Amino acid sequence: MTSVWLDRRRTLTVDPFTPDEDFDTVVAGAGITGLATAVLLARSGQRVAVIEARTAGAGTTGNTTAKLTLLQGTVLSSLRRQYSQKTVNAYVQANREGQAWLLGFMTDNAVPFQKRDAYTFAMTDGGADQVKSELSVAKAAGLDVTETAGTELPFSTRTAIRLGDQAQFNPMDVLEALLSDFRAHGGVFVDGVRVKNVSTENRATVFTSSGHVRADRVVLATGIPILDRGLYFAKLKASQSYAAALRVPEPTQLFKGMYLSAESPGRSLRTYPAANEELLVVGGNGHQVGKEPSPKRRLDELLDWAVHHFPGSEVTHTWSGEDYRAVNLMPFFGKMPRGAGRIFFATGYNKWGMTNSIAASLAISSDILNGQLPWADTIHKRVTSPAGAAAAVALNADVAKTLSESWAKAELAKPDPGTVPAEGEGTVVRKGRKPIAVSTVDGVTCRVSAVCTHLGGLLSWNDAEKSWDCPLHGSRYSPAGEVLQGPTTKDLPLMD
């Protein structure tokens, strides 16, 4: 599957990786967090390298729906249930500054974007209550949100709230503009090189798949952090959600706003002015990574829903992306514990990374350059609520249960007599006591270890993305065992 954003000719210039080079800062990961941080540091005169394991945008940023909005479904009321209004206000301020910076960047660099109103809508009584709470918390945080009687959507809604003057864009336009700004300020951009580890004895040494480099500081902008210091993998829930672009029979009659349902399964809608036509973009139907028996069924449900409400529409692209929600709902950013003050990280945007990533980049670069941001201090000093602590305990109990259940299932897996799954399918079999992940994709059958190289989770087959996914902390691998998404940094061993 390829997103409508990544379906383009690659125009990025990359630099060679030179082992033993020395930098002020090395940034791992070329999604929106990594590239925005790199631009801010390079503009200040630092010598910066971005090291990307795959290609720019290959992670979540190239697989998003790219709404740049302060009305974020029902996020503010969920935060308010755990934190003081002051902390919620700091979150809004962080997002406001992230949004303003990105709008300014797009304007200065002639990156197209569309101003749009954002809506949260409800289709049920329960959803209507959630929307009401969101309205009241958003107003208390100073957002000019209003209740609206109806929407432009082709189905009925119980209620909706609206925030005017938000924006949407193509995330790959933004990444390309960030990269060209970064390189214009002397930045070095390397792709196809994976950061494996960082040591912090006597400055920082960054160990990669192609050798090591040194730096004063390292920023982990890898989605979920790839280092286990701080145990952030145990404080984040990894979820996979789906999106599609559709060609509709009457594009001129498409709605204008950006919409998100309050209820699950989530339903997200926006439009995209592609080169020659206005496309409909829908998203939603997320689930915890590696825990859905058939991700393809989730995608199909979303497509059926879209075609039902927009009859005659034709799917042009389908894709999915992985994002992380902190158990206490607040994004994490700043210095990593036990990183000797040299390792920074950002994660846990809860599907609102377009604004939160820039806020995190502003906070990290300000920290590195000795600046101060009051909202960042407030967020750092927040007290974890009892609900947040309980959610962390529940998440880790669930991880332990998943681990033991999946290993019990592996014990029952069939012995491998040379299994060859049907095209597009994968299964776990046993060779002695060893679980083996066997799949057939594009006519090629691969056998790899079915044990996640992070902390030993048993992998499950993703029939939508054709990948092996870990239900514990969300690592994902290609059929041939190459890492697609962290926290792991090690490929799966081949079993042939």
Ligand X SMILES: Cc1cc2nc3c(=O)[nH]c(=O)nc-3n(C[C@H](O)[C@H](O)[C@H](O)COP(=O)(O)OP(=O)(O)OC[C@H]3O[C@@H](n4cnc5c(N)ncnc54)[C@H](O)[C@@H]3O)c2cc1C
Interacting residues with ligand FES (CB under 6 A): 233, 452, 454-457, 470, 472-475, 487-488
Q: How far is the CB of 59 from ligand FES (least distance, A)?
A: 15
Tokens of 190: 């390397």
Can residue 179 be called a binding residue for ligand X (CB under 6 A)? no
Q: How far is the CB of 399 from ligand FES (least distance, A)?
A: 8
**Which residue in 116, 183, 194, 473 binds ligand X (CB under 6 A)?**
194
SS3 390: helix
Residue 470 touches which member of ligand FES, ligand X, none, C-beta under 5-8 Å by kind = ligand FES
Q: Smaller CB distance to ligand X: residue 196 or 203? A: 196
Q: Smaller CB distance to ligand X: residue 33 or 170? A: 33
Residue 293 touches which member of ligand FES, ligand X, none, C-beta under 5-8 Å by kind = none
**Which secondary structure element, helix H or strand E, spans residue 132, and what is its range?**
helix 125-140
Can residue 222 be called a binding residue for ligand X (CB under 6 A)? yes
Q: What is the CA radius of gyration of the chain?
A: 22
**Which residue in 439, 449, 478, 489 binds ligand X (CB under 6 A)?**
489
Closest residue by Cα to residue 59 from 288, 357, 337, 403: 357
Helices (DSSP H) in 236-381: which residue ranges? 295-309, 353-368, 374-380
Q: How far is the CB of 324 from ligand FES (least distance, A)?
A: 12
State whether the Cα torsion 94-100-106-109 is positive or negative.
Answer: negative
- List 269's β-bridge partners, or say none: 259, 282
Q: Smaller CB distance to ligand X: residue 322 or 416? A: 322
- Cα gap 364→453, rounded to integer Å: 30
Can residue 462 be called a binding residue for ligand X (CB under 6 A)? no
- Cα gap 149→121, rounded to integer Å: 11
Contact 104/149 with Cβ under 8 angstroms? no
Q: Judged by CB under 6 A, which stretch of 128-136, 178-186, 347-355, 384-392 contacts ligand X?
A: 347-355
Q: Smaller CB distance to ligand X: residue 160 or 244? A: 244
Residue 166 touches which member of ligand X, ligand FES, none, C-beta under 5-8 Å by kind = none
Contact 422/440 with Cβ under 8 angstroms? yes
Can residue 351 be called a binding residue for ligand X (CB under 6 A)? yes
Unique residue bearing structure tokens 């809508």: 121
Residue 64 touches which member of ligand FES, ligand X, none, C-beta under 5-8 Å by kind = ligand X
- Cα gap 143→123, rounded to integer Å: 23
Contact mark string toward ligand X, 295..334, x via CB under 6 A: --------------------------x-x-----------
Q: How far is the CB of 65 from ligand X (least distance, A)?
A: 4
Nearest-5° Cα angle at 243, 125 to 226: 105
Per-residue burial over 32-44, b = 16 or more CB atoms within 10 Å of its CB, e = otherwise:
bbbbbbbbbbbbe
Q: Smaller CB distance to ligand X: residue 213 or 354? A: 354
Helix axes 75-82, 386-412, angle to 10 degrees: 110
Beta strands in 192-336 (DSSP E): 195-199, 204-208, 211-220, 236-247, 258-261, 267-273, 278-288, 314-326, 332-335
Q: How far is the CB of 300 from ligand X (least distance, A)?
A: 16
Can residue 486 be called a binding residue for ligand X (CB under 6 A)? yes
Can residue 5 be called a binding residue for ligand X (CB under 6 A)? no
Residue 473 touches which member of ligand X, ligand FES, none, C-beta under 5-8 Å by kind = ligand FES
Contact 56/34 with Cβ under 8 angstroms? no
> Both ends of the chain: CA-CA distance in Å?
27
Contact mark string toward ligand X, 13..52, x via CB under 6 A: ---------------xxxxxxx----------------xx
Q: How many residues bind ligand X (CB under 6 A)?
A: 40
- List 480's β-bridge partners, or say none: none
Tokens of 488: 């792991």
Nearest-5° Cα angle at 198, 196 to 199: 140
Unique residue bearing structure tokens 């592609």: 274
Q: Smaller CB distance to ligand FES: residue 3 or 439? A: 439
Q: Smaller CB distance to ligand X: residue 244 or 450? A: 244
Q: Smaller CB distance to ligand FES: residue 131 or 492? A: 492
Can residue 343 be called a binding residue for ligand X (CB under 6 A)? no
Can residue 89 be called a binding residue for ligand X (CB under 6 A)? no
What is the secondary structure of 381-431 as a DSSP string? TPPPPHHHHHHHHHHHHHHHHHHHHHHHHHHHSPB-SS--PPTT-EEEEEE
**Site of interaction with ligand X (CB under 6 A):** 28-34, 51-54, 58-61, 63-67, 194-195, 221-223, 226, 241, 243, 283, 321, 323, 349, 351-355, 357, 486, 489
